[in-house]
């Protein structure tokens, strides 16, 4: 009898924005971190235009990096290529819940806390968006501070159609 695949439930929280912008996903453990990045982009509403990295480690020293090699990726500890490392291989020896950071766009520095909440045996390869709240900030809006200034009317870039409270689970496609 073949062993069932593991699935992980992941909570994503975007730092420095109030009220919080968050998502909860269920993803297959066979997913590489490169594919996980694409999944996070779609779940959050980003456009996948910028560099990214996953950071982990002990305590506050998140020096270990999972990413695609690039000159702008600063590595202070161990490095793993996201194209080769699966979620299950990374998480199989970790006690859950466990946390790591996902940084997107090193100029605007959107930092997301990823909490891997639980795991279960399930052979489904499907990505499932379980829940979430609020619209993701638009790309190139100046990071968390530019976004806050625009919401307060101090910066005039915001599109009239943008609604920071809007989030429709059913519109997110993987």
| Residue 141, in any domain of the structure | no
| Residue 148, in any domain of the structure | no
Per-residue pLDDT reduced to its tens digit, 42-99: 999 999 999 999 999 887 778 899 999 988 888 788 999 999 999 999 999 899 999 9
Q: Sign of dihedral through CA atoms 126, 129, 135, 136?
A: negative
CATH classification of the domain holding 80: 3.10.290.30
Q: How far apart are CA 125 and CA 76, in angstroms?
A: 33
User: What pLDDT does residue 57 have?
Assistant: 87
| Residue 124, in any domain of the structure | yes
| Residue 27, in any domain of the structure | yes
| Residue 147, in any domain of the structure | no
Q: Which residues constitute the domain of residue 31? A: 6-135
The pair phi, psi for residue 116, each rounded to 5°, is -85, 105
Per-residue pLDDT reduced to its tens digit, 19-32: 999 999 999 999 99
| Residue 159, in any domain of the structure | no
Element (H, E) at 129: strand 128-133
Answer yes or no: are the C-beta atoms of 136 and 44 closer than 8 Å: yes
| Residue 59, in any domain of the structure | yes
| Residue 122, in any domain of the structure | yes
Q: How far apart are CA 33 and CA 157, in angstroms?
A: 33
pTM attached to this predicted model: 0.92
Please report which confidence band the pLDDT of residue 1 belongs to, taking 50, 70 and 90 as the band edges.
very low
Number of domains in the chain: 1
């Amino acid at each position: 009898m073949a062993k069932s695949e593991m699935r992980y439930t992941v909570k994503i929280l975007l730092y420095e924005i109030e009220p919080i912008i968050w998502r909860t996903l269920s993803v297959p453990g066979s997913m590489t971190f490169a594919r996980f990045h694409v999944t996070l982009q779609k779940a959050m509403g980003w456009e996948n235009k910028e560099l990214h990295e996953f950071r982990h480690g002990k305590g506050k020293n998140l020096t270990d990096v999972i990413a695609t090699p690039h000159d702008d990726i600063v590595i202070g500890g161990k490095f793993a290529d996201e194209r080769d490392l699966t979620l299950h291989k990374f998480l199989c020896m970790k006690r859950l819940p466990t946390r790591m950071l996902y940084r997107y766009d090193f100029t605007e520095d959107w930092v997301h806390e990823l909490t891997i909440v639980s795991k279960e045996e399930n052979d489904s390869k499907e990505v499932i968006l379980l829940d979430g709240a609020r619209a993701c900030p638009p790309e190139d809006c100046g990071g968390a501070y530019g976004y806050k200034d625009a919401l307060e009317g101090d910066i005039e870039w915001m599109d009239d159609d943008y609604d920071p409270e809007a989030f429709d689970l059913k519109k997110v496609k993987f």
